[in-house]
Amino acid sequence: MQTLPLGRSDLSTSRLAYGCWRIARTGDASADLQTARAALEAALDAGYTLFDHADIYCAGRAEEAFGRAIAEMPGVREKIVIASKCGIRPQGDPLPDAPYRYDFSRDYIVRQCEASLRRLGIERIDCYQLHRPDWLMDAHEVADAFTQLHRAGKARTFGVSNFSPSQLSLLQSAWPQPLVVNQVEISLCQLSTFSDGTLDQCQEKHIVPLAWSPLGGGLLADGATDILQHQRSYRVAELITALDEIAHAHGTTRDVIALAWLLRHPAGIVPIIGSAQPARIRASVKATQIELTREQWYRLLTAARAEPLP
């Protein structure tokens, strides 16, 4: 698979990343390990090199299952880029009446990174991201946490997720190294980053836009079994028709065209593939071999918008 530089760092990423959110859903350690192993093998074989995690994915079990799977595969850790995130703090942590919230305090960031390292069984996270903007973010405090992690060799580069351009600029003003990614929801179901300045900023500053839910949680593919609350309002009937027509012309499937649509954008969007099924992980790579025409790209954009272009 083709690669791209990971922002202004000396790392690179495959054109598609693999997202580990859904690999440890059963809660049964040996079943989760089997899923993680099969997903990892398929992804490595297909050329994926960036693997995305978060401390909260399956309450830590996704990192654990992945860590056990790579421990069985000598030499693999050195060949891949491991990303994780922190900053979303679940309800009941640490006291039973604590609400769900965001926490970018220095000690919490450092502690969560160390806990992810233990679960993953590795010494350093290659790209450590802040999961969702903390309303109480003090950019200098975050920069202190990053400095501590970087000096200790626990995190190599840093990025953000779900940040607006101004939030990213604020943090960048306090942190001297270039932020390398902004992981945001981008798909034909969720177009806001095209017009709110996020993709413009990524292109201007050489920040990689990592696209989460690139298939709208599955709505743009063969159907969604488990989607986020806000994705329930996505209406895709017209889009599916347009995707199927273009897929037919390319001799492929609608999910591949939905990914190719993201890859066509000049900001260098890297879709994070979230399927836990090996065949789908492999099939997604077909998107990197298709370049949609400008006409096809706009036909899909028009089908995705509820109103005509001005």
User: Among 37, 50, 52, 290, which residue interacts with ligand NAP (rule: CB under 6 A)?
Assistant: 52
Q: Indicate whether 226 belongs to the interface with ligand NAP (CB under 6 A).
A: yes
Q: Give the CA-trace dihedral at 92, 274, 81, 100, to 10 degrees.
A: -10
User: Among 272, 285, 287, 304, which residue interacts with ligand NAP (rule: CB under 6 A)?
Assistant: 272
Separation between Cα atoms, residue 55 and residue 93, nearest integer Å: 13
Q: Indicate whether 22 belongs to the interface with ligand NAP (CB under 6 A).
A: yes
* Residue with smaller CB distance to ligand NAP, 28 or 226: 226
User: Among 9, 35, 49, 162, which residue interacts with ligand NAP (rule: CB under 6 A)?
Assistant: 162
Say if residue 96 is preceded by a cis peptide, omega within 30 of 0: no
35 three-class SS: helix
Q: Indicate whether 80 belongs to the interface with ligand NAP (CB under 6 A).
A: no
β-strand partners of 50: 81
Q: Indicate whether 224 belongs to the interface with ligand NAP (CB under 6 A).
A: yes
User: Among 215, 236, 303, 304, which residue interacts with ligand NAP (rule: CB under 6 A)?
Assistant: 215
- Output phi, psi for 137, to 5 deg: -60, 125
User: Among 19, 133, 159, 165, which residue interacts with ligand NAP (rule: CB under 6 A)?
Assistant: 19
Say if CB 209 and CB 182 are below 8 A apart: yes
Q: Indicate whether 161 belongs to the interface with ligand NAP (CB under 6 A).
A: yes
Say if CB 201 and CB 207 are below 8 A apart: yes
Kindly identify the residues of this chain, within the stretch 245-264, that bind ligand NAP according to CB under 6 A. 255
Ranges assigned E (strand) in the chain = 3-5, 12-14, 17-19, 50-52, 81-86, 88-89, 101-102, 125-130, 155-161, 181-185, 208-212, 270-273
In whole angstroms, the minimum distance from the beta carbon of 228 to ligand NAP comes to 7
Q: Indicate whether 87 belongs to the interface with ligand NAP (CB under 6 A).
A: no
Q: Indicate whether 244 belongs to the interface with ligand NAP (CB under 6 A).
A: no
Bridge pairing between strands 88-89 and 101-102? antiparallel
Question: Contact region for ligand NAP (CB under 6 A) — 139-147, 193-201, 219-227, 286-294?
Answer: 219-227
User: Among 13, 49, 183, 198, which residue interacts with ligand NAP (rule: CB under 6 A)?
Assistant: 183
57 included as an active-site residue: yes
Spatial neighbors of 180 by CB under 8 A, at least 6 apart, are 6, 7, 8, 9, 11, 127, 157, 158, 159, 207, 208
Separation between Cα atoms, residue 248 and residue 204, nearest integer Å: 35
Please pick, among 57, 102, 128, 234, the residue that the annotation labels catalytic: 57
Q: Indicate whether 280 belongs to the interface with ligand NAP (CB under 6 A).
A: yes
Q: Indicate whether 213 belongs to the interface with ligand NAP (CB under 6 A).
A: yes
Which residues form the interface with ligand NAP (CB under 6 A)?
19-22, 52, 131, 161-162, 183, 212-218, 221-226, 255, 272-277, 280
The residues annotated with a catalytic role in the active site are 57
